[in-house]
């Protein structure tokens, strides 16, 4: 790695593509002759308007977002969406949620403060190590939407096939898989993603929402909590997270330049295979998720004991592989290998773990 950088396996904030960081460095003190850094720039300036417009257009190109969907850049991270979604989308006060791990659980808890939540399927019985069969759920007719977390960052499970919503709109938290593979936007009513997992710096969420779901009858709702506010103001009702928009815009361009989401997906499959093949052949390390539902992004794994887990985490850190400790709610280890993690990083870590295993038999 250049610049003495480390292979950072953090679940988020996480690695960004090196060419993007280099470009940001080069533009840091004087953005393209503007005489200032993007951090110092008025969000009402022409220069910034061009940055946000290009960011939106590049994202639209990457994901083939249909014209009847709005793209919003909102602050408050993905967490604020746990509240904004039920506040804006519950017309009948009822929604179906699928419980597949820590992040869908948090979304359920917040939605319950707003209306009736029906947990139509859950994988809690096996500690969230699989995605339940959602091909024929019991969904009441007056349900406002069906909610999923498409990749559970902490438990490392991912949806291979979207649920059958029986004609209801689908809302998906894509935070930890956003732009990791092609996505058919029109399968969803709304997609959202906190950007610090797979795109850019923390503090912003991208919301892709079908226009007809944006309501103008919610005048009692605090203005900042209404999607309409952000849609009408082009994501600039107040000062947006200019820095994050700028950095994410660069990542969108970078993804286009390498061949778009098909190519990104190919690389992600290739990269994850290196790690999973290792786990499947190891006697010391074991993946915790059922094979069919393994995430390409977040890979939780364990040894036979907590003590050994901790020893391995310490050894990896000393060797220059950072942030491999599992989430406190699950324990063990977790390697997050988002878009920007090079295959070299995964191969190097696997070599290290193989060697560790051989020396500690």
Ligand X SMILES: *Cc1c(COP(=O)(O)O)cnc(C)c1O
- Count the neighbouring beta carbons within 10 Å of the beta carbon of residue 123: 21
Contacting ligand X (CB under 6 A), which of 176, 288, 303, 336?
Answer: 176
Residue among 14 and 312 whose Cβ is closer to ligand X: 14
Q: Which of 24, 78, 190, 297 binds ligand X (CB under 6 A)?
A: 78
Which two structure tokens, joined as six digits, stand for 233?
A: 């103001």
Residue 159 appears among annotated catalytic residues:
no
Which listed residue (58, 105, 159, 173) is catalytic? Answer: 173
Q: Smallest distance from the beta carbon of 247 to ligand X, in angstroms?
A: 15
**Which range, of 74-82, 116-124, 224-232, 237-245, touches ligand X by CB under 6 A?**
74-82
Q: Which of 86, 194, 200, 345 binds ligand X (CB under 6 A)?
A: 194
Query: Given the complex with ligand X, which of 49 and 122 has the nearer CB atom?
Result: 122
Candidate segments 71-79, 84-92, 164-172, 338-346, binder of ligand X by CB under 6 A: 71-79
* Residue among 118, 80, 85, 76 nearest 99 (CA): 118
- Going 159 to 331 to 317 to 78, the CA torsion angle's sign is positive
Q: Which of 175, 235, 268, 303 binds ligand X (CB under 6 A)?
A: 175
Taking each helix axis from N to C end, the angle separating 46-63 and 242-257, rounded to the nearest 10 degrees, works out to: 40
Pick the catalytic residue: 197, 228, 250, 271?
197
What is the C-alpha to C-alpha distance for residues 133 and 130, in angstroms, rounded to an integer?
Answer: 9
Under 8 Å between Cβ of 330 and 154: yes
Of 103 and 246, which CB lies nearer to ligand X in the complex structure?
A: 103
173 part of the active site: yes
CB of 251 to ligand X, least distance (A): 16
d(CA 202, CA 315): 28
The DSSP secondary structure of 173-194, one letter per residue, reads: E-TTTTTSS---GGG-SEEEEE
* Two tokens, residue 48: 């910034």
C-beta of 176 vs 235, nearer to ligand X: 176
- Yes or no: say if 295 and 156 are a contact pair by the CB < 8 Å rule: yes
Site size toward ligand X, by CB under 6 A: 12
**From candidates 103, 159, 285, 293, binder to ligand X by CB under 6 A:** 103
Nearer to ligand X, 144 or 173 (CB): 173
Structure tokens at 254: 């970078």
Annotate each residue in 8-37 with x if it binds ligand X (CB under 6 A) or - if it does not, as one string.
Answer: ----x-------------------------
3-class SS of residue 111: helix
């Amino acid at each position: 790695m250049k610049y003495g950088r480390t292979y950072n396996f953090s679940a988020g904030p996480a690695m960004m593509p090196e060419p993007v960081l280099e470009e940001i460095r080069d533009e840091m003190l004087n953005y393209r002759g503007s005489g200032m850094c993007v951090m110092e720039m008025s969000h009402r300036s022409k220069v910034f308007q061009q940055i946000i417009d290009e960011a939106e257009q590049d994202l639209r190109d990457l994901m083939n977002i249909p014209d009847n969907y709005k793209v919003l850049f909102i602050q408050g991270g993905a967490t604020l969406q746990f509240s904004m979604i039920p506040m804006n989308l519950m017309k009948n006060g009822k929604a179906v949620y699928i419980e597949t791990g820590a992040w869908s659980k948090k979304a359920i808890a917040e939605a319950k403060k707003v209306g009736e939540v029906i947990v139509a399927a859950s994988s809690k019985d096996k500690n969230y190590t699989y995605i339940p069969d959602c091909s024929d759920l019991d969904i009441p007719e007056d349900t406002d939407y069906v909610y999923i977390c498409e990749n559970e960052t902490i438990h490392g499970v991912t949806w291979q096939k979207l649920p059958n919503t029986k004609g209801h709109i689908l809302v998906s938290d894509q935070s930890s898989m956003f732009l990791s593979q092609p996505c058919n936007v029109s399968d969803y009513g709304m997609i959202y993603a906190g950007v610090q997992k797979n795109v850019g710096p923390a503090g912003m969420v991208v919301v892709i929402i079908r226009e007809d779901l944006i309501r103008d009858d919610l005048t009692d709702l605090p203005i900042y909590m209404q999607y309409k506010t952000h849609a009408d103001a082009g994501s600039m009702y107040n000062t947006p997270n200019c820095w994050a928009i700028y950095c994410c815009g660069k990542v969108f361009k970078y993804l286009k330049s390498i061949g778009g989401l098909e190519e990104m997906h190919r690389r992600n499959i290739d990269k994850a295979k290196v790690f999973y093949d290792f786990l499947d052949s190891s006697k010391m390390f074991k993946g915790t998720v059922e094979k069919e539902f393994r995430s390409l992004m977040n890979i939780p794994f364990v040894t036979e004991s907590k003590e050994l887990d901790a020893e391995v985490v310490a050894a990896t850190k000393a060797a220059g592989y950072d942030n491999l400790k599992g989430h406190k709610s699950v324990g063990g280890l977790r390697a997050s290998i988002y878009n920007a993690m090079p295959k070299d990083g995964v191969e190097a870590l696997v070599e290290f773990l193989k060697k560790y295993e051989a020396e500690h038999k």
